[in-house]
Amino acid sequence: MKPKALQNCGKCGLCLSVCPVYKISNQEEASPRARLQLIKYYKNENLLSSSGLKEIISKCLMCGSCKAICPSGIDHYSQFMEMRAQMRKDHGEKSAIKSLTYLLAKESRIRLAAGAAKIGQKIIPQNFIQKYNLGNIPLKRFPRLNKKPFRQAVPEIIQPDRNKKGTLLYFTGCATNHIFDKTGFSTINILKQMGYTVIIPKKQTCCGIPMLFHGAGKQAEKNVLTNIKCLDKEDIKAIIVDCPTCGTALKDEYPALMQRLDKDVDAAKRISSKVIDIMSFIIQESDLKNFSNSIDKIKVTYHLPCHLKNSRKTSNNTEKILDKLDWIEYERAIDVDECCGGGGTFFYEYPEISKKMMDKKIKNAKNTGSSIWLTDCPVCRINLSGNLKRKDKITVRHPVEIINNVLFNT
Amino acid sequence: MLNLKIRNPLLKIVGKERLLEKPEELACYSYDAYFEEAMPDMVLFPVTTQEVSAILKICSTHKIPVTARGAGTSVCGASIPARHGVVLCFSKMNQILETNTKDRYIIVQPGVVNIDIQKALEPFKFFYPPDPGSMNVSTIGGNVAQNAGGPRCLKYGVTADYILGMQVVLASGKIVEFGSRNVKDVTGYRLSGLFCGSEGTLGMVTKIILRVVPLPETIKTILVTFDNLDDTAKSVSDIIGSGILPVALELLDKTTINAIEDSANLGLPVEAEGSLLIEIDGVKEACEKEIQKIIEKVETNGATSIQEAKSDEERDKLWEARRTAFGVFAKLAPDIFSEDVTVPASKVPEMIRKTVEITKEYGLKVGILAHAGDGNMHPMIPADKNNKEEWEKVEKAFVEIVKAAVDLNGTLSGEHGIGLAKTQFLPLVMSQDSIEFMSVIKAAVDPDGILNPGKFV
């Protein structure tokens, strides 16, 4: 087989300049260019499959920075996902990752696992929690799970109090549903205030990215089909996401996947065209006049998640809002758009690399003198806040939470 | 794999964290931005001069080929281990040792990335002028080995013009130093000029003292379009001939502009047959005067539009477009044949005409891109190496392009280097005696021929 697409990598090396893993290791095999070459050698049978090869292919954050900068227009995601699936087939998967992809493939399993984990969080002895780490994050710094899954805690349809502007679908993602319900409540509150009817389709499930990225494409298929079915609705203005990675999935990966599966690409494209992250929606639909307040300014800093930066070309909408809000003093960290090393499960699989990235981020965030660190992505959030120490006195929040707290929840 | 008698002492020098020998790891060091490939037997990441010296001692005892590598962005295959052996990768030897803008120098290790030098100098309002297209990723060691150029070298000069001093480890493992922190220094041979551009065939540069210069007060950038390539080229020789010295004078033809626009969507003039990206810098008043002069020249030559970058953002966009040109051509075909012949500025129009004629004759597609102000041509031919018939045509066209350049008092390579790409064409521009003289120097410094063997000398 001649991998035509791979031949088009000009090997110019531009991707090395943006790859977060390469920047830490300074070794070619950590780079996107190397992974593409290895895939080529493997397909041309110049290189045998090995656990070492799997390791190189896996040691990637799937942040998409290479795809965004590639002048040759290579779709790194597809190449990497396909190869990851092959490597998973050849060499199996770490049991923790296998369990994760198994769990996320079915909503009932996710609920069950979240329930068990919640009990787990209660019954794990305190001294164990104090002592142990998952990846480089101490267990004690993991967020507590929601008391009740968010989607069960709110009605399926939420009407605004006044001036109805239209109907939105809200895709909440697993993180809001099970970990960060405040993000969900805040999002609904803001959209209500803006005058929208919000529908949270009950049937929605995990977007499937964790499976796709771990090479478990088969398991992801069902999720994708389920979500497409419940999101492909007429007469809705937009599909709101609060998680940039879910956004990447719905916007970019669903159409690509449906194309590969030879299924309803049009439905995926209809959905893709309506997907927008909550912060971009706010700035697109509002001049922010209703978002002003005369309280003393709150100093905040921000971390731009890779999947916002690379996948949707809407990169800086959150920063734009922070700059405009009269009650926020936004202190930009010099490395605001550098990857934090979270990368789904990357922080767990490669803690040494992740930690080096994180240490830099924390240092620069502290230099801003802010006590609030905003970020849109739940994995970034777990990673940032998990690596902070109590004495750092910095809390990490989704931007909608601070907006809701200050403006609508008082 | 290397004989254990050789492997184990090498392992002892760098430790297992900085030694690679598994096939899937080695494969990642078998290529650079050129299209040939060759597998190394081992990759080592030294971080000190002493380590480099110790490694070379062992390699010269056992006559193991050693090929230096930085970020692997050479477009002539200079960092491909053509005769296998050891790849010495300097990417982890990347400390900036001293920044001294009062005395106008910076001392760096070879693995420092060009852009990081710029970032270190920026707070002091200084910069390091050579700006190869790969500057965001390529290392200064590689820049020195290849005597890298870049757009703004038109005004500021190339890498070799900025080396005040260096430390080099010879094939034997001996460590030598020459030059100093002084711009004026005639103490002994000016050996930096010998090692700079030697493509890793004479020694391993382990420390470099670079001259740095103040950032200009004002920068002005304009994009000018023409409805034929001849007028575009003629404007170049007119501007250069008039006594103005722009920082950069880049020429892009329609094919190139369209390839970039398809990839980046920057709103570039896709209809124009030829475009010039012109930048000048200096004191504000002088810039204004010079830009007027330039505008007069291009208007005389029938410019169809003149657009000035109004903000840093707009300027960055134009340059970003120029920088991605090499990569976007990769979209057009599986391989790109990127040329680098250079001619005196007054010959640019003729060289472009010839290039178009030659490629047309062979039925090849060509994109004309050039650091036109210094005559450094980068015609790019998208083709498929696996298509034998087509590739033969590409090679034939290439020989004719080189010959045409030589006829116009030009040279084989302006900034890409010879490496694997152009060794066979050296006789076109150098006499047998001159080539032999290079071999004499090589034999004196590296008698066993272990440094980057298989390349031009």
Per-residue pLDDT of chain B (457 residues; tens, 9 = 90+): 788 999 999 999 999 999 999 999 999 999 999 989 999 999 999 999 999 999 999 999 999 999 999 999 999 999 999 999 999 999 999 999 999 999 999 999 999 999 999 999 999 999 999 999 899 999 999 999 999 999 999 999 999 999 999 999 999 999 999 999 999 999 999 999 999 999 999 999 999 999 999 999 999 999 999 999 999 999 999 999 998 999 999 999 999 999 888 877 778 888 899 999 999 999 999 999 999 999 999 999 999 999 999 998 889 888 888 877 877 887 788 888 888 999 999 999 999 999 999 999 999 999 999 999 999 999 999 888 889 999 999 999 999 999 999 999 999 999 999 999 889 889 989 999 999 999 999 999 999 999 999 998 8
Any CB–CB contact under 8 A between B126 and chain A?
Answer: no
Tell me the nearest-neighbour CA distance from A233 into chain B, angstroms: 32
Partners of A315 on chain B (C-beta within 8 Å) are: none
Partners of B387 on chain A (C-beta within 8 Å) are: none
> Which residues 2-31 of chain A have a CB within 8 Å of chain B?
2, 4, 7-14, 16-17, 26-29, 31
Residue B456: inside a domain: no
Tell me the nearest-neighbour CA distance from B397 into chain A, angstroms: 21
Tell me the nearest-neighbour CA distance from B26 into chain A, angstroms: 9
- B24 and A12 in contact by Cβ < 8 A? no
pLDDT at A4 over 70: no
Task: Determine the Cα–Cα distance for residues A382 and A403; give it in Å rounded to an integer.
Answer: 20
Domain match, B105 and B163 both: yes
Domain match, B302 and B354 both: no
Domain match, B207 and B224 both: no
- A7 and B335 in contact by Cβ < 8 A? yes
Token output for B246: 């722009």
Other C-beta atoms lying within 10 Å of the C-beta of residue A138: 16
Token output for A206: 């995990």
Asked whether the beta carbons of A222 and A261 are under 8 A apart, the reply is: no
Of A17, A27, A34, the CB nearest to B136: A17
Domain match, B194 and B131 both: yes
Domain match, B129 and B156 both: yes
Residue of A nearest to B321 (CA): A71
* Domains of chain A and CATH, by start: 4-91 (1.10.1060.10), 150-204+226-283 (3.40.50), 287-407 (3.40.50)
Domain boundary pick from B89, B112, B135: B89
Domain match, B375 and B323 both: no
CATH of the domain at B424: 3.30.70.2740
- The arithmetic mean of pLDDT across residues A143-154, rounded, is 90
Dump strand ranges (E) for A173-217: 196-199
pLDDT at A113 over 80: no
- B24 and A50 in contact by Cβ < 8 A? yes
Of A2, A16, A72, the CB nearest to B327: A72
Residue B453: inside a domain: no
Partners of B27 on chain A (C-beta within 8 Å) are: 37-38, 41, 46-47
- The arithmetic mean of pLDDT across residues A71-99, rounded, is 86
Task: Determine the Cα–Cα distance for residues B277 and B247; give it in Å rounded to an integer.
Answer: 11
Of A7, A41, A71, the CB nearest to B263: A71
pLDDT at A133 over 90: no
Question: Which among A2, A6, A9, A14 is the top mutation candidate for probing chain B, defined by the most B β-carbons within 10 Å of its own β-carbon?
Answer: A14
Domain match, B259 and B306 both: yes
> Which residues 394-453 of chain B have a CB within 8 Å of chain A?
none
Domain boundary pick from B181, B214, B247: B214
What's the pTM value of the predicted model, to 2 decimals?
A: 0.90
- A8 and B330 in contact by Cβ < 8 A? yes
Tell me the nearest-neighbour CA distance from A13 into chain B, angstroms: 6
Of the candidates B48, B101, B91, which has an alpha carbon nearest to the alpha carbon of residue B68?
A: B91
- The DSSP code for A143 is P
Instruction: Give Cα A196 distance to the centre of its chain.
Output: 25
- B336 and A10 in contact by Cβ < 8 A? yes
Convert the pLDDT of each residue in A261-276 to its tens digit.
Answer: 899 999 999 999 999 9
Domain match, B242 and B322 both: yes
CA angle A26, B147, B99 (to 5 degrees): 60
Task: Determine the Cα–Cα distance for residues A318 and A288; give it in Å rounded to an integer.
Answer: 12
Residue of B nearest to A52 (CA): B24
Q: DSSP 3-state assignment of A241?
A: strand
Of A2, A13, A53, the CB nearest to B73: A13
Partners of B45 on chain A (C-beta within 8 Å) are: 26-27
Residue B457: inside a domain: no
- A71 and B335 in contact by Cβ < 8 A? no
Task: Determine the Cα–Cα distance for residues A156 and B207; give it in Å rounded to an integer.
Answer: 66
pLDDT at A54 over 50: yes
Of A4, A13, A47, the CB nearest to B24: A47
Partners of A14 on chain B (C-beta within 8 Å) are: 134, 136-137, 324, 327
A186 Cβ contact partners less than 8 Å away, ≥ 6 residues apart: A398, A400, A401, A403, A404, A405, A409
Residue B117: inside a domain: yes
Residue of B nearest to A34 (CA): B28
B362 Cβ contact partners less than 8 Å away, ≥ 6 residues apart: B393, B394, B396, B397
> Which residues 209-268 of chain B have a CB within 8 Å of chain A?
263-264
- A16 and B71 in contact by Cβ < 8 A? yes
Partners of A56 on chain B (C-beta within 8 Å) are: 24-25, 28
Domain match, B293 and B209 both: no
- A8 and B331 in contact by Cβ < 8 A? yes
Asked whether the beta carbons of A198 and A166 are under 8 A apart, the reply is: no
> Which residues 34-53 of chain A have a CB within 8 Å of chain B?
34, 37-38, 41, 46-48, 50, 52-53
Query: What's the confidence (pLDDT) of residue B231?
Result: 94
- B264 and A50 in contact by Cβ < 8 A? no
Question: Which among A8, A11, A352 is the top mutation candidate for probing chain B, defined by the most B β-carbons within 10 Å of its own β-carbon?
Answer: A11
Range of the domain at B47: 4-89
Residue B269: inside a domain: yes
Domain match, B120 and B176 both: yes
- The arithmetic mean of pLDDT across residues A196-223, rounded, is 89
- B334 and A4 in contact by Cβ < 8 A? yes
Task: Determine the Cα–Cα distance for residues A176 and A191; give it in Å rounded to an integer.
Answer: 16
- A17 and B115 in contact by Cβ < 8 A? yes
- Paired with B139 in beta bridges are B113
pLDDT band at A102 (very low <50, low <70, confident <90, very high): confident
- The arithmetic mean of pLDDT across residues A212-222, rounded, is 85
**Of the listed ranges A58-62, A141-145, A163-167, A375-379, the one predicted with least confidence:** A141-145
Domain match, B240 and B321 both: yes
Cα torsion B278, B279, B284, B286: sign: negative
Partners of A19 on chain B (C-beta within 8 Å) are: none
Any CB–CB contact under 8 A between B71 and chain A?
Answer: yes
Partners of B328 on chain A (C-beta within 8 Å) are: 71-72
Domain match, B100 and B210 both: yes
CATH of the domain at B198: 3.30.465.10
Give the number of A-B residue pairs with CB atoms closer than 8 Å. Answer: 108
Q: Give this complex's ipTM.
A: 0.93
CATH of the domain at B82: 3.30.43.10
Query: Looking at the 3D structure of chain B, how many domains does it have?
Result: 4
Domain boundary pick from B57, B89, B121: B89
> Which residues 101-120 of chain A have a CB within 8 Å of chain B?
none
Tell me the nearest-neighbour CA distance from A36 into chain B, angstroms: 10
Q: What is the percent of chain A where pLDDT is above 70?
A: 93
- A7 and B136 in contact by Cβ < 8 A? no
